[in-house]
Structure 1
């Protein structure tokens, strides 16, 4: 799968609640790191842990839309509320085989400041 296509496929799988599609996108040893800016963040390892963690994080803002963006020069997603507020940025690490090997989610308000000023921040 093309490197940039991975973001669109991830959006489709999350929006459709398709765990099979998510499993196909993620490497066996996928790792997810969540930076919330407080002690509610953390990390998950492996498909069986990352898939429900992604769904749970997505459902915290059911009215928000996922949009593909560039983050740190690579594919990523932004979670944007209807009024335009960015409530999360997901950086996607793509493995040589095209699967997702790592995801880094930032939902720390202080780290989203530039995204919310209308200046897409790289990272």
Structure 2
């Protein structure tokens, strides 16, 4: 996989959990901002802090899967429940390593990711 494909590298490190892989893809001064729409959101800085925060957040959704997406013109990952509902979207910033993760888990902001399209025959 190309070194510049940060979303793919992050996905490989997250599932199954690989802390060494995460450390290799995250910049030492990485910044992660979580917009949850409530008090559970916030900002985390530094590789080890971001790794711990990601581990805790993903542990809350063991049945969910991660898929590569593009969001707001950037590569990213979406966290999907088995029924297909998106419960989080992470936008990745960086070139050689991830310098920023912008994560949205606010249901209102994920509404467009969860619109059901009418099935056609």
Tell me the TM-score normalised to structure 1 length: 0.89
Compare CA radii of gyration and give the structure with the larger one.
2
Runs (5+) with no aligned partner, structure 2: none
List structure 1 runs of 4+ shifted beyond 6 angstroms.
none
1:19 aligns with 2:19: yes
How do residues 8-87 of structure 1 correspond to structure 2 at under 5 angstroms?
8-87=8-87
Q: Provide Cα deviations, 1:7-61, integer angstroms capped at 9, x if missing partner.
A: 1111111112111110000011000000110011111000010001111111111
- 3-state SS of 2:62 partner: coil
Give the distance between the partners of 1:55 and 1:70, measured in 2 at CA.
22
- 3-state SS of 1:28 partner: strand
Q: Give the total of aligned pairs.
A: 115
Aligned-pair CA distance for 1:118 = 5.1
1:106 equivalent among 86, 90, 104: 104
* Greater fraction helix: 1
